[in-house]
Amino acid sequence: MNTLNRLRCGLSMLGVLGVVALGEAQSAAQTSPTTTAAVVNGSKITLAEVDAVLKARPTLGPLTAAQQRQLRFEILSVMIDEMLLQQYFDKHGPKVEPAEVEAQLKALSEALARQKLTLQSYCAEQGITEKKLREGIKIVQQLTRYTEAKMTDAALRQYYEANRAYFDKVTVRAAHIVLRVPVNAPESERAQARQKLAAMRAELLAGKADFAELAKRYSQCPSAARGGDIGFFAAKWMDLDESFVQAAFAAKVGDITEPVDTEFGVHLIKVLERTPGIPSTFEKVIDEVRDSFAQDVRANLLDELRKVAKVEITLP
């Protein structure tokens, strides 16, 4: 992988491309530079900063008010994560010397030159200044070192065994019945959903009902029209809640799980099929193990930072 692609990959793993434009291009935004979108541990992100990134994103046409707000929220979420990482690394390291950042910037300039591009044009394309690019490079280097410090041979082997189904390319096909419950709903509402699904499960196990028919009637998901069938998925890195995936992979074909809580609500899951995959060895998939391990380390760090952070979102 060449220098330019390595940097793009590193920055994009955080959503830094475009998002490191914090504080840039405010004059191009159509909102007041003082309007606050969020405060993260006392540090402010303005709506103008969010809209500067939004403006740089390609769209297929004019956005509705609802679409604009959704995109703003997605951009803001990435900005908050980046700020949390920056705050953490400022206090806890690992340390990155300015000369290391400059060396990376020089390598990038040389890679761009081979494509008859300049650093200035690259920054313009991304909607950032060289200063913000340096900050993004530093965060990526710090996150890489933080991850590598945890990437011992023992840790990687343990991770491989714990996620063997993923590395063996095993997939599961499942159907579900979901009752939507907001994340901030009272526990009584979630308990009520569990009770309803537990009653359905009892009927299903007794042979008094059909899963697909119950899904069509009660599931609050577009998959209801297909009897709850959501197709095949892998054991990791899918657009599914981790608790959902773990419950599905722990079940046998034909099993119906107990009610499973996720951020989307409460689910009954029926495993329809399971592929055998291709047996792997640690040595053959070591690169995949490293990549997946690194993604999990980064995700876990952000989860911990979000838990203790004081974040106030005031996005209009």
pLDDT tens digits for the chain (316 residues)?
Answer: 444 454 545 554 455 444 443 333 333 334 556 789 999 999 999 888 888 778 777 766 787 888 888 888 999 999 999 999 999 999 998 999 999 999 999 999 999 999 999 998 888 777 677 888 888 899 999 999 999 999 999 999 999 999 999 999 999 999 999 999 987 889 999 999 999 999 999 999 999 999 999 999 999 999 999 999 999 999 998 888 999 999 999 999 999 999 999 989 999 999 999 999 999 999 999 999 999 999 999 999 999 999 999 999 998 7
64 part of a folded domain: yes
pLDDT digits (tens, 9 = 90+) for 52-74: 778 777 766 787 888 888 888 99
Same domain, 141 and 195: no
111 part of a folded domain: yes
252 part of a folded domain: yes
Same domain, 30 and 145: yes
Same domain, 22 and 144: yes
Please say whether the beta carbons of 23 and 44 come within 8 A: no
Domain that residue 254 falls in? 171-274
Same domain, 56 and 178: no
pLDDT digits (tens, 9 = 90+) for 134-148: 888 999 999 999 999
Same domain, 304 and 248: no
280 part of a folded domain: no
Same domain, 126 and 185: no
162 part of a folded domain: no
Q: How far apart are CA 135 and CA 284, in angstroms?
A: 36
Number of domains in the chain: 2
Q: How far apart are CA 304 and CA 88, in angstroms?
A: 11
Same domain, 29 and 137: yes
Question: Which DSSP state fits 62?
Answer: P
pLDDT digits (tens, 9 = 90+) for 90-99: 999 899 999 9
Question: How many angstroms separate the Cα of 186 from the Cα of each of 190, 191, 242, 265?
Answer: 7, 9, 22, 12
166 part of a folded domain: no
Q: How far apart are CA 189 and CA 102, in angstroms?
A: 54
State the pTM of this model. 0.74
Count other Cβ atoms within 10 Å, centred on residue 193: 20
Report the CATH number at residue 264.
3.10.50.40
Same domain, 112 and 17: yes
Same domain, 9 and 148: yes
Instruction: Indicate if the alpha-carbon torsion angle 264, 267, 270, 276 is positive or negative.
Output: positive
Same domain, 66 and 148: yes
Q: How far apart are CA 39 and CA 312, in angstroms?
A: 5
17 part of a folded domain: yes
212 part of a folded domain: yes
